[in-house]
Structure 1
Amino acid sequence: GWRAVYDFFRRWRRHGYIRELHQRLRRTERERQGRLPEPSAGIIDSQSVDGSETCPASSRGYDGGKSRDGRKRHILTDTGGLLLEVTVTPANVHDSKAAPELLEAFMAEPGRLLELVWVDSAYQGQELADAFAAHGVEVVVVKRTDGTKGFKVLARRWVVERTLGWLSRSRRLNRDHERRPDHHVQMVWWAATITLVRRMAGQRPHWPEFRPHRLAAPGPARG
């Protein structure tokens, strides 16, 4: 029943299995593309989502800019849009405050080669720059052209925005239904892994229709 499924989910969360699975698949996909397993450049962005009634007030907030009452997921991707790291905060936490923790989580593992990260204008300030410089990572702000109105594709920025769009296709991530922020993090890893596996398989999801009348009785074994 649901208890067995939840115990499975909790065990994978505790040991970081789904994150490790995605990291291995991500490195394999980059090598398949003729790139190094670890990226030297990345892109950071965030996405606020409303919280459902199961999302407690103690771990949620109101994002006035996006009119969202819930949580915010912060992601780091490579230049192809593959997820590198994710953290989750209340939606009222400013992007510049959450970015150092996001980078720290990714750079904590040995073998990281990240040297440069593209961000939007929300990721500014000396404190953020110092936190990134401590890891030898340069921050490059991609700004909109002065006077530009409406939608505009920004160099490098569109890649991470596309990844956020991919994640939003997961029904579980349209709203935050999780009681714990770390459970939301795991749901992001699951959604990213499913997307990556489909990408590597080169096929769209297909669920065969079940038609009982097509089932035939087993016949004699054939040599």
Structure 2
Amino acid sequence: MIGSDRKIDGGKWVNGRKRSIVTDTLGRIWRVEVHAANIHDGVAGQDLIYPDFTGQMPRAKKLLGDNAYRKSFAELTADLDTVTFECPSRPVGSKGFVVEAKRWVVERSFAWMNFYRRITKDLERAVKNSVTFIYLANIQMVISSLDKITT
């Protein structure tokens, strides 16, 4: 059924599913989790780490996340020996929009996903299909960036 794994996030008024990703500094996607929208980002992000995060990404030294990942996600990454977690914060006393360090990398990756209709409309019945199409879109982005380099 198409309605499975879909809920409403009361804070953002997102109906359906949300995506959590781990990217490198160039915005290439390494891990993806798609979950119901009512699950908090910090709790959903834990699935990105376990199982076997350090085995899949042995060179990763630092994970960056926004304020939603400060509690349970940060506690979980404290158990990892090779990876540290950092949450960039706003300067004290600042008001309005402030660019937070390195956060734009993940936001840019989400913006790139908007070019792929199959991802933005999310008509997939199974969560695994949604994850697969995100990986396929990432593969296409990486190949097109290699094509720009070689020409």
Q: How does 1:125-204 map to 2 (within 5 A)?
A: 125=71, 127-136=72-81, 137-145=83-91, 146-150=93-97, 152-202=98-148
Cα RMSD, aligned residues only: 2.0
Q: Is the 8 A contact 2:54 2:60 kept in 1?
A: no
Q: CA deviation at 1:84?
A: 1.1
Which one has a bigger Cα radius of gyration?
1
Q: TM-score, normalised by structure 1?
A: 0.60
Cα deviation digits, residues 170-191 of structure 1 (max 9, x gap): 1111121011111100010011
Residue in structure 2 matched with residue 98 of structure 1 by the alignment: 44
Partner of 2:2: 55
2:20 to 53, 66, 74: 74
Are the counterparts in 2 of residues 118 and 142 from structure 1 also a CA contact under 8 Å? yes
Q: CA 1:143 to 1:83, structure 2 compared with 1: closer, same or farther past 3 Å?
A: same
SS at match of 1:87: strand
* Structure 2 stretches lacking a partner, 5+ long: none
Q: Is the CA contact (8 Å cut-off) linking 1:84 and 1:106 kept in structure 2?
A: no
Shift of 1:199: 0.5
- Which of 64, 81, 90 is 1:118 aligned to? 64
Structure-2 separation of matches of 1:62 and 1:191: 25
| Structure 1, unpaired ranges of 5+ | 1-53, 204-223
Tell me the TM-score normalised to structure 2 length. Answer: 0.87
Q: For 1:197 and 1:106, locate their aligned partners in 2 and report how far apart those are by CA, in whole Å.
A: 27
Distance 1:61 1:177 in 2: 14
Summarize deviations over 1:124-148 as a string: whole Å, max 9, x none.
11x3223212222211111234442
| Residue 48 of structure 1: aligned partner | none
